[in-house]
Chain A
Amino acid sequence: DGGITQSPKYLFRKEGQNVTLSCEQNLNHDAMYWYRQDPGQGLRLIYYSQIVNDFQKGDIAEGYSVSREKKESFPLTVTSAQKNPTAFYLCASAPGTAQETQYFGPGTRLLVL
């Protein structure tokens, strides 16, 4: 059963804490993306990776970090430097061909305690 999985579904962060969101895909896609969605706003790109061991900052990378050690996995860490982390986080992947159709995982909702 191919697809993109994200865990956990809900995540609670305490002040000053780093938390890591998981994103895994078994679609053999080269490219992976992390977006943040706030109420009334569109998706904003945090980080993306076109290939293993390489990634680029998106539009709102401050306070976040990523790694891409395996093709299947692209975890996102929300650091304590991110002062307003409450949002719906979406991971997406794409084949990596010229015509990039991105497919989304189910999302993780991050809440601050």
Chain B
Amino acid sequence: QKEVEQNSGPLSVPEGAIASLNCTYSDRGSQSFFWYRQYSGKSPELIMFIYSNGDKEDGRFTAQLNKASQYVSLLIRDSQPSDSATYLCAVRAGGGNKLTFGTGTQLKVEL
């Protein structure tokens, strides 16, 4: 069983719609959760991090964490073609400094 799982996609949404990206993790001791965006051929860039159960909003992005169900999600409101990229979920286990990454979900925002 993979430690961090994401649907590889592609996830296609029309411009202006809400894109919902999901991630599940296996280590119940995980404490920190990160979403990175990676454009083709480029390095990952941090979008958001979340530590506590519930929602965290930053502009068009909302991260949602449910530790009991061991999932974290990223919502992108008013999706734009420039949001088309691969979104990587990363999890840091409790007491450690290493991140475990999922394989990423490819998002395509269509005009």
Contacts and interface: CB of A to CB of B under 8 A. Distances in A.
Contacts, number: 50
Interface residues on B, range: 20 to 34
Nearest to A94: B97
Given A40-B8, A99-B32, A99-B51, A106 B44 contact: no
B34 A101 contact: yes
B103 A41 contact: yes
Given A41-B103, A42-B103, A42-B104, A103 B46 contact: yes
B1 to A, nearest CB: 14
26 contacts: A31-B97, A35-B101, A40-B103, A41-B103, A42-B88, A42-B104, A43-B44, A43-B101, A44-B101, A45-B98, A45-B99, A48-B97, A50-B97, A58-B98, A90-B43, A99-B32, A99-B49, A100-B99, A101-B34, A102-B34, A104-B36, A104-B43, A104-B44, A104-B45, A105-B43, A106-B42
